[in-house]
């Protein structure tokens, strides 16, 4: 049976980079997003061109109804069987970058519900399926990979709610790694740096200057393909004794330097 991965937020940006890297390694895919399937048809077609099966699970990770829709669509795709890989990538940025003293409750809830609360309960649901599948067949391979951000530790006072959510997601990764370790299900965290996507399009000029000025050890933007390659390596099972670990994909941005 083919390996099946669910990639949340997988139709564009980092999520599509991850999906494409997995498709290249012959993973069948369920792509999650909030848009109509017709709006992501081009992305799905590109993935199917790799010769793999690709389904679409529309739903907002941040809502219970959305998560139930994702679960239902994914189980329909697999015929009721557990997926082998969950990649929690979907995330949102604050609609308005506001100073910490001006952050609204509405913005906080919007970001945290999607980037942290929703990930917790989606992971919980799929982890239950993985544990059951592993108990039924010890050879069943399952992995969970959470895409966080350097914002888990790097402070940005004009988007505090985003930093808090990513820091929480980092702890979520360790919690599930500890809980699922005895079940033989590794959990990893991939922590991107400054990645060129639609989410960073509005701050391109800012980061162009910072990167030119030495922000990163490797003097360039990161790309979705950089994240995809890291996820694909983890999903191959190349790091079987490293559950709970963080893979930095930031070009050396967070490396302490003098």
Would residue 162 show up in a list of annotated catalytic residues for this protein? yes
Yes or no: say if 10 and 16 are a contact pair by the CB < 8 Å rule. yes
Helix-strand-coil split of the chain, %, nearest 5: 50, 15, 35
Compute the distance between CA of residue 161 and CA of residue 53 in angstroms, rounded to an integer: 37
> Radius of gyration of the chain from Cα atoms?
18
Q: Where are the beta strands (DSSP E) in the chain?
A: 4-7, 28-33, 54-58, 85-88, 143-147, 187-192, 246-249
Among 110, 162, 188, 207, the active-site one is 162
Yes or no: say if 189 and 170 are a contact pair by the CB < 8 Å rule. yes
For the purposes of burial, counting CB atoms within 10 Å of the CB of 32, is it exposed (0-12), middle (13-18) or buried (19 or more)? buried
Cβ atoms within 10 A of the Cβ of 39, count? 12
Compute the distance between CA of residue 230 and CA of residue 37 in angstroms, rounded to an integer: 27
User: Which positions are catalytic?
Assistant: 162
């Amino acid at each position: 049976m083919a390996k099946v991965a669910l990639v949340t937020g997988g139709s564009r940006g980092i999520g599509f980079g991850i999906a494409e890297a997995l498709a290249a390694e012959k993973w069948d895919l369920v792509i999650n997003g909030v848009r109509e399937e017709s709006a992501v048809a081009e992305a799905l077609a590109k993935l199917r061109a790799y010769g793999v099966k690709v389904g679409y699970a529309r739903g907002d990770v941040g809502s219970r109804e959305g998560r139930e829709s994702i679960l239902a669509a994914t189980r329909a795709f697999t015929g009721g069987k557990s997926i082998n890989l969950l990649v929690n990538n979907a995330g949102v940025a604050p609609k308005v970058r506001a100073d910490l003293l001006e952050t609204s409750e509405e913005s906080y809830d919007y970001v945290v519900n999607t980037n942290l609360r929703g990930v917790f309960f989606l992971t919980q649901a799929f982890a239950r399926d993985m544990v059951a599948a592993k108990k039924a067949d010890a050879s069943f391979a399952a992995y969970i990979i959470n895409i966080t951000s350097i914002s888990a530790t790097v402070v940005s006072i004009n988007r505090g709610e985003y930093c808090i959510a990513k820091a929480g997601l980092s702890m979520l990764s360790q919690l599930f790694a500890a809980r699922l370790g005895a079940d033989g299900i590794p959990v990893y965290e991939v922590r991107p740096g400054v990645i060129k996507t639609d989410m960073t399009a509005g701050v391109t000029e800012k980061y162009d200057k910072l990167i030119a000025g030495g922000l990163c050890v490797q003097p360039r933007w990161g790309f979705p393909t950089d994240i995809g390659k890291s996820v694909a390596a983890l999903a191959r099972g190349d790091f079987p004794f490293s559950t709970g670990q963080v893979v930095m994909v930031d070009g050396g941005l967070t490396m302490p330097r003098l």
